[in-house]
Structure 1
Amino acid sequence: MMTESSSTGISRRGILKAFAATAITAAPTFANAAGFLRGAGDIRRIRMVSPRTGERLDTIYWIEGDYIKEALREISLFMRDWRTNDIRAIDIRTVDILAASHNLLDASEPYMLLSGYRSPQTNAMLRSRSRGVAKNSRHLIGEAADLRLGSRSVNQIYSAGVACGGGGVGRYSGSNFVHMDCGPVRTWGR
């Protein structure tokens, strides 16, 4: 039996609200993440801060069933490759997964964005320094983000991402971040 506040930091009430808000059967897995946002009302909001650039983002990107193009451009600019300043449109499915996970965590602080879009040059440089960087990373196509929250553990963020069932979720406990993307549903890491 789950207690009111589990060790993952996701409250029983939050999970029940999220599941009650979803009425999706036999739909593509991304629908799970979008379903969690249905309980968020008529708006969807994303809040992030970049330790690399010092920039902050707090934007409503969806109202009453419509994505706001200007807000999506703002998100893509914010999630650019900070090393090269290259910008690529961030897949809205990824934004929805991030927002749904944040809602499940019931966190008041913004995500700390460590990596969003990565240019091929940046990805190659990171691969030369670490075995943990994929050659065909979803970061290269604007479908991934590496995140952390000061008030939540890697395991809590990972659990929220997995609960959304919308894509890939990787746990990087040693580096204190979680990877989320809108690719095939899969999990990895410790």
Structure 2
Amino acid sequence: MDCSCCTRRGLVRGALGLGLACTGIAVAPAQVLGGAPRSLAIQRVQTGESFEGAYWRDGRYDREALQQLDWLLRDPSMEEATPMDPRLFDVLAVIARQMEATEGYQVISGYRAPETNAARARESRRVSRASLHMSGMAADVRLVGRESLGMARLAAEMQLGGVGLYRRDGFVHLDCGPIRRW
């Protein structure tokens, strides 16, 4: 399923409450997610570990759930975690909801220690030396059962942060930093 918000039905749904997603206007995740509990299902590709549950409820982030997500998105090569920016989880939750995903995310890369990022940048021009992965603000993901192109298009249209499509590798970079795409 590609960008369902940009179909006629999606536009009608948008007019009923999710409309800013297709207008080219930046959307705050809270506008889409509202006050209901915010949940994610994530599996870490390298370790097989997973998280499924609410990370935000009763008007605030759940500290214990955030700690579990921080560890899940750690740099597995260094066994080093950092506090992830919870806005990243909001971006992931919005995209999953808008794509009507029934399966969870697969995380290819979350937090990267500076040493890991530097090593990857030496190996590939596609890795930024100032990557938001080092700040806990980015993740490279697949959404099971959804096309990466459709996910990238939707995220770019919603203008929630940075979006990079890595079509050959089958994943999308999502972050909660400045709005940009590649």
TM-score by length of 2: 0.88
Aligned: 1:49 with 2:43: yes
Instruction: Output the amino acid matched with 1:118.
Output: R
CA contact 2:73–2:109 (8 Å) conserved in 1: yes
Query: Contact 1:94 / 1:181 at 8 angstroms: preserved in 2?
Result: yes
Aligned-partner Cα distance in 1 for 2:120–2:109: 11
Match of residue 169 from structure 2? 175
Q: Percent identity?
A: 34
Amino acid at match of 1:32: A
Stretch deviating more after TM superposition (67-76 or 161-170) = 161-170
The structure-2 alpha-carbon separation of the partners of 1:117 and 1:16, relative to structure 1 and needing over 3 Å to count, comes to: farther
Q: Which has the higher contact order (CA 8 A, sep 6+)?
A: 2
CA contact (8 A) 1:49 1:111 kept: yes
Could you tell me which of 131, 134, 137 is aligned with 2:131? 137
Residue segments in structure 1 that go unaligned for 5+ positions in a row: 1-6
Q: Distance in 2 between matches of 1:58 and 1:137?
A: 27
SS in structure 2 opposite 1:162? helix
TM-align CA RMSD: 2.1
Task: Please list, as runs of the form range in 1=range in 2, the aligned pairs for 1:156-171 lying within 5 A after superposition.
Answer: 156-171=150-165
Q: d(CA) in 2 for partners of 1:68 and 1:148?
A: 24
TM-score between the two structures when normalised by the length of structure 1? 0.84
In structure 2, C-alpha distance between the alignment counterparts of 1:131 and 1:177, rounded to whole Å: 17
Quote the residue 1:104 is aligned against. 98
- 1: CA distance, partners of 2:95 / 2:30: 10
1:28-65 Cα offsets, whole Å, 9 max, x none, are 94x52221212xx6210011111200111102011131
**Contact 2:164–2:172 (CA<8 Å) still a contact in 1?**
yes
Structure 2 residues without counterparts, runs of 5 or longer:
none
- Determine the structure 2 residue equivalent to 1:37: 33
